[in-house]
């Protein structure tokens, strides 16, 4: 049986947000559904939902898998880094970008010109 620790440890600089909430926040910022995240990790959606709701405890292997799938450091996932993740484009936006890449070069240039005009008009 382990002996009780005699020295009192300094508290960790841990974010008070539960890890389950951080998983959900990173997932939504990445524009992923629970199904998509579960597929990236190789688990069922129900199991992913259980981790995300905090019903199941995350062990080191799963922390690493979630961190890799969400493209964040394990420290960020554990709340040891005080970094706000960058918002990633949503799934619909990403799918459209992939389709736009297939357009002929002349149509891409015309579309970019139109987007530039809209952005300039919005910033004025």
85 located within any domain:
no
Query: In angstroms, rounded to a whole number, what is the distance separating the alpha carbons of residues 5 and 20?
Result: 29
Residues 38 and 68 in one domain: yes
Q: Tell me the mean pLDDT per 10 residues along the chain, length 124.
A: 74 77 89 92 94 92 94 88 62 79 90 89 83
Residue 69: name the closest of 17, 21, 19, 34 by CA: 34
Q: Which residues, in sequence order, are CB contacts of 23 under 8 Å at separation 6+? A: 51, 52, 66, 70, 77
Residues 27 and 57 in one domain: yes
Residues 24 and 74 in one domain: yes
pLDDT at position 89 is 66
52 located within any domain:
yes
- How many distinct structural domains can be found in the chain? 2
pLDDT at position 123 is 84
Q: What's the domain range around 97?
A: 91-123
Residue 108: name the closest of 119, 118, 117, 97 by CA: 97
Query: In angstroms, rounded to a whole number, what is the distance separating the alpha carbons of residues 31 and 91?
Result: 5
pLDDT at position 34 is 93
């Amino acid at each position: 049986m382990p002996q009780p620790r005699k020295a009192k440890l300094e508290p960790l600089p841990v974010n008070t947000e539960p890890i389950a909430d951080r998983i959900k926040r990173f997932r939504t910022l990445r524009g992923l559904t629970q199904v998509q995240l579960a597929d990236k990790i190789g688990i069922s959606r129900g199991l992913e939902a259980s981790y995300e709701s905090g019903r199941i405890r995350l062990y080191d292997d799963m922390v690493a898998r979630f961190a890799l799938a969400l493209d964040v450091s394990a420290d960020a996932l554990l709340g040891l880094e005080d970094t706000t993740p960058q918002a990633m484009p949503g799934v619909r936006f990403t799918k459209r970008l992939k389709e736009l890449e297939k357009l002929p070069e002349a149509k891409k240039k015309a579309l970019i010109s139109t987007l530039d005009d809209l952005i300039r008009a919005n910033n004025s």
